[in-house]
Structure 1
Amino acid sequence: MTLDVTAPARPRTMRLRADASRNRERIVNAACEAIVEYGPDVPLDEVARRAGVGNATLYRHFSDRGELIRQVALAVMRRITQRAEALAEEPDPFGALERFVFQAAEERVGALCPMVSDTFDGHDPEVAQATESLQRATTALMTRAQDAGQLRTDVAVGDLMVALTQLTRPLPGVCAIGFDRFVQRHLQLFLDGLRAPARSTLEGTAATLEDLKGCHK
């Protein structure tokens, strides 16, 4: 009988891949927190320290700062999309939209927005796919609320994202830590303004994510 001497290698390979995947996830999460706190120029040594990995491990996964920032932004977009999709069948459409807004705010999209606009390549297929998925999931939440007569009909996903990013962005000279107490109040004020029946007439047309892309060109 011939023994297969390569058989034990498969579990070890799987463990190594799992470890690498966990390290990568830890680095991305640590980078997100550090960038929100210190900005995109945070030392990568600090990111590695927060992730609990060595510098060599960080550079093995991310060749440079730009690629790390790109992956942070993509991870945030995907998590926000997942949050929207998870709320798609909630019985109260406007309540689901409210929960989505506050959950998205937890991802610090306002603090990350300037970094994203400076780093992202709009022609990047991965970026395009993440953007499309986010728009589709968010639009579905808004459409349900509009169909239920709970959300004013003269707004679109771009309007929501503009408000979300602006209201969760720390003011110049204001520390990002502790800023959440203002964010919650202002987001609730914004959401109250979205309810139907509308108490005002908005100028212009509803904004889409495509409209927002044009602002960065």
Structure 2
Amino acid sequence: QVFTEVYEPPVTDGSGSNRQGLRNGLRLLKEAGYELVDGVMTNKDTGNRLDFEYLYVDPSSERIAAPFAQALEKMGVKMTLRRVDTSQYIERMDNFDFDMATAVWGQSLSPGNEQREFWGTAAADQNGSRNVVGIRDPAIDAIIEKIIAADSSEELAAACRALDRVLIWQYFTVPQFYNEVDRIARWAYLERPETVPLRGIDTSSWWYDEEKAGQIKGR
């Protein structure tokens, strides 16, 4: 499945009423040994309720986390939103003291050694590492080494695609959102090059057009 099937994320109508997703979630929880008892998702063996904490520091995270918590509640799962200050957040993340949190792994145009820090087994137990997921997988370690040792752009691309597929299909994370465009408002007197750098938006390449600025001021 990992190398023969293209991963496609779930698609909904955006209404917030995702019945099919809830049914799939209930099925997976049942397969994992849970059952609904009086509306509460309960472990069949221990009798404990399925609950966990979402740790965050930025209040803007609530617009994504709150609907997620509401959807889980419909399945009898309790997700507590825990907002902490920056120092607490850093300390808890560095010590892997959390159930769920938002993480970003920024990538370069030429991935390399940093992948060990992101997904490597050696980083899983290093406080403060970027492997906050705690991944310990020899197969992933081997792919990372292929990325680092790649002798050509073709080898690098193939190894990166392999790593991407393995990470996606193991469901280590819950993707939040994606937008293929950057929406930026600018004054008409600010000009920018027609060709955008591969690294994305670069405001340092913009320039001030004195003629256009004069036209605007004269209005």
Instruction: Choose between structure 1 and 2: higher strand proportion.
Output: 2
Whichever of the two has the greater Rg, that structure is: 2
Q: TM-score, normalised by structure 2?
A: 0.24
Instruction: Choose between structure 1 and 2: higher helix proportion.
Output: 1
Q: TM-score, normalised by structure 1?
A: 0.24
Indicate the structure whose relative CO is greater, using CA pairs within 8 Å and at least 6 residues apart. 1
